[in-house]
Structure 1
Amino acid sequence: MAEQTELEHPTRLPSQQQQPESNATAFPGFTIQHVNNCCFSSWYSHFSQCTFKSIVIQPLPETFIDYLNADGIYLPSEVNHAPLAEYDVDSDTSSEVNQDVSDTEEDTPNPSFPTLEAHIISSITRLGGRIFPKLNWSSPKDAAWITFATTLQCTTPADIFLLLKSSDFIAHDLSHAYEECVDFEPGHDQDRPKEFELVLREWFDLAPSMQFRCFVHHGDLVGMCQRDSGNYFEFLKLNRNTIELDLCRFFDSKISGKFPDPSCKNIWLMDFNPFGPTTDALLYTWQEILESTESKLRIVESTAEAEHHAKSNFSHNRLPKEVFDLSNNASIHEFSERFKQGLLHAQFDKVSPER
């Protein structure tokens, strides 16, 4: 049995916004440095033995950032591939991505990123052929619905670009990562990070029932709960004590202690998230977490409780205008066919010699 855990840690603001539960609940202020400290490449090397193998491409070309920020969903043109330097956190070496772009590329409606695409293809191969992407802080999990498999699994650059272009979480990383920091001053070169990175993480088919969120306050583990709060899993009740003990041991040995240990067989670290009201407290309230002095695993105790917590993940996120235009009150099947045709039409527009 393998568990996956993500930690809520007082180091940065999240890319997914949640309304605070109470104005009376006080949290420590975040600074821009706190946010930068939780950038993926800042923590991965310290915990690489107990998380997924990953490759970081940095810095991303500014033309690619402009493409992600541009309105509309369209994929870059297919191009010849060229070598690209990489930042591979497994080998603790870094180098820059070639940012050379032709003068005509900026004038075309469908830009081309040959060196970036070539390196993505190479990295996907090195990671086993299947990956999931993220930028400095966030993965585009709010956009998983737009893929045919409704997951973040990617096997080509086009899969990655479609997810990144469709995600509000990615848009937040690009333009709003520092806005809630106490030292943020608009217009003082603080509107965005100086560099962006594309993280490609090895794909595993993880069981949602075995993913847990842990809360760390002042260096102490003060709460744990199942990540999928909208479903009841009977076996979690039967194994609650064992799972709770495993999570506590994992925190003590891998997170709190931070000492090297290559043997990490039962639990994988998924990510670090901020300790604050903008992060979903799931089966807790934030007031409970702040007042907690012991870490007890909370799970959904019944089907009735699961129905109470059930909600459509990320339903509050905006849908691209093109999706609304394609839907036009169609059935799910009709919408799917229209969406496929829309993508095919976009690809035809890019390669047609008459354009």
Structure 2
Amino acid sequence: MVNNVQAECSFTSWYPHFSKDSLEAIILPLPDKILKYLEHDAFVLPVEATKNVECTAGWSDGSTVFPDSSEDPEFEPPTFPEFSKKIQEAIDDFGAAFIKSNWSTPSDATWVAPTKTLKCTSLEDVYLLLKSSDRISNDLNMIRNWSDNKNAVSSCLVLKRWREINPCTEFRCFVMNNELIGICQRDLSQYYTHIESEKYSIQRDITTIFNERIKERFKLENYSFDVIRYKKDKVKIIDFGPMDESVTKGSLFTYQELQNEIENTPEFRFIAEDVGVQPKTAQHFCVPQEINEFFQSRGEMSMMDALREEVENQGRVQNEEDSD
């Protein structure tokens, strides 16, 4: 049976009803062949995501960086021309895109991206993040386990126009029994002076969008939602989530506190002084130590360039050993 909470919090479920109050997004359903590609253990990028590299890059012996399927009949690099075209059109339209699946962003895979962020300016960026992320894989597995249920959601790729969001404008909100009971600063790694000075207007703006645009329209009674309040009277919905310990972890509320009915609602919690800040959650997503040390030794070099250099070095050593 499909978990109703997870289903309602899927981007495909809520975005059509709240698109006017959210950041612009494009939803691309994931075809079966893309799902099989993402679930497969082999790490190889689609042809269309590497063709620009193939045209210009080569190994030290003059051969191309990526294998030619005509030379190896057993090797058939994947290709998804129609799906990749839709991604490219979105990137061209947006200039740069932020990506996620039904629920999760591939934030655990940003170490593979040239910018070390979720900013995608090419097909290579998109496929690298999708293929490297356990968070995306977990979303796909969840949906696959629902495959026999007629009401199950479908896997999707969400692309949003990339924008630099100041973390001090992000807030997580908690709803119990259709009432907004808590608002919390999202980035607990910093003390932001403007939050203290604007706390009443921030609280008022978020309460307004909840009462006027969210309450009674979202299908669950207990849930969380994230917003950005980028200027006075301007609040946008970022996402919806469940109301449980997973969404209170790393916040200034505990799940137990929210369950025990906070008296003066909504209570707004934020870091009010420059002490006791916590590490950013994203900093805990990292590559294994050995690989991390490998890339650190390459300085500013991108992951792809570092891997090419390492393969060349190994080939050079092997040739020297053979000659000896």
Residue 256 of structure 2, aligned match among 284, 287, 300: 287
Query: Which of 295, 299, 309 is the aligned partner of 2:270?
Result: 299
**Alignment correspondent of 1:37:** 8
After TM superposition, list the pairs within 5 Å mapping 1:60-99 onto structure 2.
60-78=30-48
Q: Of the candidates 292, 296, 304, which is equivalent to residue 340 of structure 1?
A: 304
Distance 1:79 1:337, change over 3 A: closer
Where 1:267 maps in the other structure, the secondary structure is: strand
Instruction: Give per-residue Cα distances to partners, 1:102-146, cap 9 Å, x unaligned.
Output: xxxx964531111111111112233x2211111122121222233
Determine helix, strand or coil for the equivalent of 2:173. Answer: strand
Listed as ranges, the gaps of 5+ residues in structure 1 are 1-29, 82-105, 349-355
| 1: CA distance, partners of 2:176 / 2:283 | 26
- Aligned residue among 83, 86, 102 for 1:136: 102
1:239-274 alpha-carbon deviations (Å, 9 max, x no partner): 111111111111111111549xxxx96001000011
C-alpha separation in 2, matches of 1:34 and 1:178: 17
Equivalent in 86, 90, 93 of residue 123 of structure 1 = 90
Alpha carbons of structure 1 residues 135 and 107: separation in structure 2 relative to 1, 3 Å = farther
Corresponding residue of 1:267: 235
> What count of residue pairs does the alignment treat as equivalent?
273
Contact 2:7 2:13 in 1 (8 A): yes
Aligned to 1:171, which of 137, 153, 160? 137
Q: 1:209 to 1:178 in 2, by over 3 A?
A: farther
**Pairwise mapping of residues 48-67 of structure 1 onto structure 2 (< 5 A)?**
48-58=19-29, 60-67=30-37
Give the direction of change, closer, same or farther, for the CA distance of 1:240–1:61 in structure 2 (3 Å limit).
same
Partner AA of 2:165 in structure 1: L
Corresponding residue to 2:164 among 173, 184, 205:
205
State the partner residue of 2:54: none
Mapped partners of 1:289, 1:233: distance in 2: 24
Please say if residues 79 and 114 of structure 1, whose CA atoms lie closer than 8 Å, have aligned partners that are also in contact.
Answer: no
CA distance in 1: counterparts of 2:14 and 2:234, whole angstroms: 21
Distance 1:338 1:159, change over 3 A: closer
* Mapped contact 2:5–2:242 kept (Cα < 8 A): no
Q: Which amino acid aligns with 2:45?
A: L
Q: Which residue of 2 aligns with 1:88?
A: none
Distance between the aligned counterparts of 1:275 and 1:140, measured in 2?
A: 22
In the aligned structure 2, how far is the partner of 1:268 from the partner of 1:78?
34
Give the distance between the partners of 2:127 and 2:7, measured in 1 at CA.
Answer: 24
Once residues 331 and 122 of structure 1 are traced to their aligned partners in structure 2, the CA distance between those partners, rounded to angstroms, is 32
Question: Is the CA contact 1:213–1:227 (under 8 Å) kept in the aligned structure 2?
Answer: yes
Greater length-normalized contact order (CA 8 Å, ≥ 6 residues apart): 1
- Indicate the SS of the match to 1:288: helix
Tell me by how many angstroms 1:337 deviates.
Answer: 3.0
Deviation digits for residues 317-350 of structure 1 (CA, Å, limit 9, x no counterpart):
574xxx66644x447252653723256589x9xx
CA contact (8 A) 2:183 2:268 kept: yes
Matched, 1:145 2:111: yes
Q: Runs in 1 of length 4+ with deviation above 4 angstroms?
A: 323-327, 342-346
Change in CA separation of 1:326 and 1:225 when aligned onto 2, cut-off 3 Å: closer
Q: Max radius of gyration: which structure?
A: 2
CA gap of 1:216–1:108, structure 2 versus 1, over 3 A, is farther
TM-score (norm 2): 0.74
Larger displacement relative to structure 2 (108-117 or 211-220): 108-117
- Secondary structure in structure 1 of the residue aligned to 2:175: strand
Aligned-partner SS, 2:248: coil
Distance 1:153 1:311, change over 3 A: closer
Alpha-carbon RMSD across the aligned residues, in angstroms, is: 3.3
Distance 1:45 1:53 in 2: 11
Q: Which whole-Å CA distance do the structure 2 matches of 1:345 and 1:114 have between them?
A: 29
Counterpart-to-counterpart distance in 1, 2:154 and 2:309: 33
Determine the C-alpha separation between the residues in 2 that align with 1:158 and 1:124.
12
| Among candidates 122, 137, 151, match of residue 156 of structure 1 | 122
Match of 1:11 in 2: none
**Structure 2: runs of 5 or more not aligned:** 52-72, 219-231, 313-324
Instruction: State the distance in 1 between where 2:20 and 2:233 align.
Output: 10
Structure whose residues are more often helix by fraction: 2
Classify 1:269/1:189 alpha carbon distance in 2 versus 1 (closer, same or farther; 3 Å). Answer: same
- Fraction of identical pairs, as percent: 29
Q: Distance between the aligned counterparts of 2:171 and 2:49, measured in 1?
A: 41
Q: How does 1:169-318 map to 2 (within 5 A)?
A: 169-176=135-142, 189=148, 195-256=154-215, 258=217, 266-281=234-249, 282-291=251-260, 292-293=262-263, 294-306=265-277, 309-313=278-282, 315=284, 317=285
Q: Distance in 2 between matches of 1:330 and 1:68?
A: 25
Q: How far apart are residue 157 of structure 1 and its match? A: 1.7
